[in-house]
Structure 1
């Protein structure tokens, strides 16, 4: 069963039952308390909720203690469908989809959801998105969403269902993406257990006491002073200013073009180790220092804001909190509550295993049926090792080069070995690269589609097709080099896209199936996710059950995505009191 939702002002709204095709299966029901109505229907029927945007509506439900099992996120699914048609970046809201459906001017998407709603305006942003859409009359805002508002939701959903029926695998992608939106909202609501005291202790140990008045922490200031002394200049050097650093190196006869770490490491000067240490500590202070702690940790929980599908490959991003880049040194601040544990699970060698399942290369898939894929592949490289690099290391280099587009130095020889032993796997990513260089679109297993090349890319890589003056030999050589670089760059992008996007789908299905299993267990909660790693906060007595649920979900994700395959997706699991103890 599906139920369409339209939110209105003052906490009201409207509901309507739909069949699986999206057609109305009952009358419009106007409700004065939308939260209570959704809670009642969830308990009675556990339908798939059809609503404009999980990110805009679900947090309010979570704040009221209401959780739902399934939904269809119209905004996310519209984005997937637009992408499949090569129309990335077009507005994807219900208002925009409704306008396209009726040949009306397409409005821009609304700004991101507000972090918090004023009391009494629980669903105002949702109501505004709907009631101000095409065809709405000026001032036509009622206390509760009515037929006009719900009509857009129902019509857009039915059109999406029609389009999805023509695309094999897309229904699973839409369901997984929508489930991911539920998970993302719940992760932000529940939060990762976080000790502000431990975090402060780490910062104090590394940087010195918390500074006041915008001053540098004591350790950073000491390093800044030593950097100036190392250059021996009368005027202090500001290590936060790349221009001053470049000028300082030039003054001592060491001109450099960048202050990036890999450039500085090639210079023999006493200021270099000090600068590298300063950059590392300054990055910690800026990205995850005391200001971060004040902003993102409350009530003993770190509550980031995830963006589902925030990267074109389908990987998540964050709009705040930097959850995808927690420094290892701060993981000791992530600690379970008394009597509880953190179950930390990460997928081993996920993307290479995904490639094995995608390509259907029997020899490669047989290797991916092992616990250590690189070790299983290493047999192909025995006898070719040079220097101190092991056969396993060479197998890893070759496989990563195939997926990410490496093609110089040692990688060329290793890729030749890989191609001869596992031709189907090699040809799979090569075909994606060649498609990208032609300007074609490539897709994931379920149909997530890469963006098309820009008009500038097409102009750059199409030599001699346009009118204009004939370029000089010098200009022609310059154009050729630049065009070749552009072609290789897009080829590398599409080569990896087919693998990374499919890996992101596997991770989404893992989240969805694990969320379902955890709901059956009761108290355990998903509290953290990044790419191929999840953390569950659970009572100690259920930790082993959670670990079993993780393994079962990984197996189910592989089966749902690839069908029958010998490839396995093992999960490394640690049951710990602190995230720092997991690895």
Structure 2
């Protein structure tokens, strides 16, 4: 059974119980929004008391529904996110033959708008429909949740051997719950530590728009070396002209290109860029905007990238530099359990391709070291460069030189990514292990290919078409690996969330052990607070830290079995229990 929540007007919601085909069971229940939290709480409590599997809550968009339930102290176990599932089913090659995929796009085909266009309080007003109305979406289209759920169930039923696709939809939906929970609880943050780091790196705080003292000193050194008091290190155009006048014929001020040159100005300029980046990305203004009551509350966007990787619509949680990680500090009496999956993408590639030799190279050890021990290459750095080249399509330099060795050692793995690249070059779709498919190349790509195929096409048009084809082939080459790794990570977090709920002894802690800033749901229990592709952080009472670490490890093993059955590939983790994030590595 599932309960579909639909908006009926700005103050009411309809709760419709449906069966496994999406057909109504009994009459829908009309509720005032103010009564919804109590209704959800009662249904969740009843199933837990009876020992039954929790009902699945079905709603349009977890980011729009779940945050306010969490604010009210209500946590749900399962959901089906209609908008995320719609995108997968519409675009997957596995469901391409269904009526659902062939039908005309609808309001459900539009991506969800960011929860916040700029920094806002952690939660909006309870189920405020103003965003939907202002965006021009009709209430009828937004509220057609029961019919949309029925269409999705029908589409899944039409897919032969839909087990993987069902797992993907379940993982995507629980990922949406986790994203909302992490936003609600927040990442524990010490602003006094952050301020001290900024002061050390930049100098004392100055008014917005003013260059801090240490940046000003570096700017003076740059001007002195170049003999130009007008150059502005914050302006790429100004710096590029000054560097060209100094005899450095560079084409950009990227740190990668600057590092290739030897000149007295390079070192201070690179140092300036590093510190200026800290100021603009995570400086005092960022801290004032994003840290609320000792917590960082970013807006995660599950499935925000084409591969299924997460993105953020605010706060930059996926780009927290090492310079400020000391500010991520557990509450008194609590710990941070930090875990990351070692060489996740190469291990995923081994499993995808059923390359037993490659899987064996990483069994119980660092995979790159295992490749060296197998005699494929001479050093760990070579193994890493070669593997990244294989997955990302590097054909020149050190990667290109090492590729033949890698191909001989792991033919199945290399064949898989090569086939994905060739498919992309032909403009075909590729699909991840569980069923997420790549987007089709754009109209510009297709026009370039068409022009090159015409009689009398110029050499330039043919070269442009080949270049576009190779670029898209590099995208599809990596898509199958990166997207499948994202699926593994979703399953890992889902199993971890389940394991954290099951930890024994999670009775209310003494008042001094509460993490009150984490909100009513998470102030007394271990909970996820951070996710970055292959890395997670759990904030936990210190007495549960060892048990949490065991759950994290078990969840990774279970995720591997969910995706790849008994194929012998390991997914080892690096785990550290620390008070500060910076101490984890």
Q: Deviations over 1:98-134 (max 9, x none)?
A: 9997998989666433545999753434885999638
Give the structure 2 partner of residue 55 of structure 1.
63
Q: Map of 1:348-363 to 2, 5 A cutoff?
A: 348-363=342-357
Quick one: which of 142, 145, 158 aligns to 1:153?
A: 145
Q: What is residue 166 of structure 1 aligned with on the other side? A: 158
Whether the 8 Å CA contact 1:528–1:534 is kept in 2: the answer is: yes
SS at match of 1:244: helix
1:419-447, Cα deviation, whole Å (9 max, x unpaired): 11221111111111111111100000011
Partner SS, residue 435 of structure 2: coil
Q: Which consecutive residues of structure 2, in runs of 5 or more, have no partner in the other structure?
A: 48-53, 507-524
CA shift at 1:480, angstroms? Answer: 3.0
1:260 matches 2:254: yes
Q: Report the CA distance shift for 1:307/1:40 in structure 2 as closer, same or farther (over 3 A).
A: same
Provide the C-alpha distance between the structure 1 equivalents of 2:74 and 2:309, rounded to a whole number of angstroms. Answer: 27
With over 3 angstroms needed to count, the CA separation of the structure-2 counterparts of 1:105 and 1:48, relative to structure 1, is closer
Contact 2:59–2:80 (CA under 8 A) maintained in structure 1:
yes
Correspondent of 2:552 among 550, 553, 557 = 550
Tell me how far apart the structure 2 counterparts of residues 102 and 266 of structure 1 sit (CA, whole Å).
52
In the alignment, which of 303, 306, 312 is matched to residue 309 of structure 1?
Answer: 303
Partner of 1:500: 482
Paired residue for 1:423? Answer: 411
After the TM superposition, which residues 268-307 of structure 1 pair with which residues of structure 2 at under 5 Å, given as runs?
Answer: 268-307=262-301
- With over 3 angstroms needed to count, the CA separation of the structure-2 counterparts of 1:277 and 1:377, relative to structure 1, is same
SS in 2 for 1:34: helix
Q: Distance in 1 between matches of 2:11 and 2:485?
A: 39
Q: CA deviation at 1:482?
A: 2.3
Per-residue CA deviation, residues 250-282 of structure 1 (Å, 9 max, x unaligned), is 333333221111222233332221111111000
Kindly provide the CA deviation profile for residues 270-321 of structure 1, in whole angstroms up to 9, marking residues without a partner as x. 2221111111000000000001110111111111110111110011011111
Confirm whether residue 485 of structure 1 aligns to residue 467 of structure 2: yes
- Separation (CA, whole Å) in 2 of partners of 1:397 and 1:20: 48
User: Are 1:527 and 2:519 matched, yes or no?
Assistant: no
Q: Deviations over 1:442-474 (max 9, x none)?
A: 00001101110112112223455347xx35xxx
Q: Is the 8 A contact 1:9 1:121 kept in 2?
A: no
* Whole-angstrom distance in 1 between the partners of 2:296 and 2:106: 43
Q: Does structure 1 residue 6 correspond to structure 2 residue 6?
A: yes
**Counterpart of 1:478 in 2: which secondary structure?**
helix
Q: 3-state DSSP class of the match of 1:492? A: helix
Identify which range, 266-275 or 518-527, moves more after superposition.
266-275
- 5+ residue gaps, structure 1, are 89-96, 137-148
Q: Would you say 1:570 and 2:572 are equivalent positions?
A: yes
SS at match of 1:381: coil
> Cα offset for 1:86?
11
Residue correspondence of structure 1 range 318-357 to structure 2 within 5 A: 318-357=312-351
After TM superposition, give the deviation of residue 347 of structure 1 in Å: 0.4
Aligned-partner Cα distance in 1 for 2:400–2:241: 39
State the shift of 1:51 in Å: 0.5
Distance verdict in 2 for CA 1:526–1:566, change over 3 Å: same
Q: Give the count of matched residue pairs.
A: 549
Q: CA RMSD in A?
A: 2.7
CA contact (8 A) 1:99 1:134 kept: no
- Per the alignment, do residues 126 and 11 of structure 1 end up closer, same or farther by CA in structure 2, a change over 3 Å counting? farther
**Which residue in 2 is equivalent to 1:73?**
81
Conserved 8 A contact 2:133-2:139: no
Structure 1 residues 238 and 425, CA, compared in 2 at 3 Å: closer, same or farther? same
Q: In the alignment, which residue of structure 2 is the partner of 1:457?
A: 445
Go from structure 1 to structure 2 and tell me whether the alpha carbon gap of 1:553 and 1:87 turns closer, same or farther (over 3 Å shift). closer
The answer to whether the 8 Å contact 1:331/1:580 transfers is yes
SS at match of 1:310: coil
Give CA-to-partner distance per residue, 1:59-104, whole Å, 9 cap, x none.
Answer: 111111111011000011111122226999xxxxxxxx99997998
Q: Equivalent residue for 2:521? A: none
Partners of 1:267 and 1:564 lie apart in 2 by 51
> Deviation per CA, 1:353-388, whole angstroms, max 9, x where unpaired?
001111012222222323211222224435x64xxx
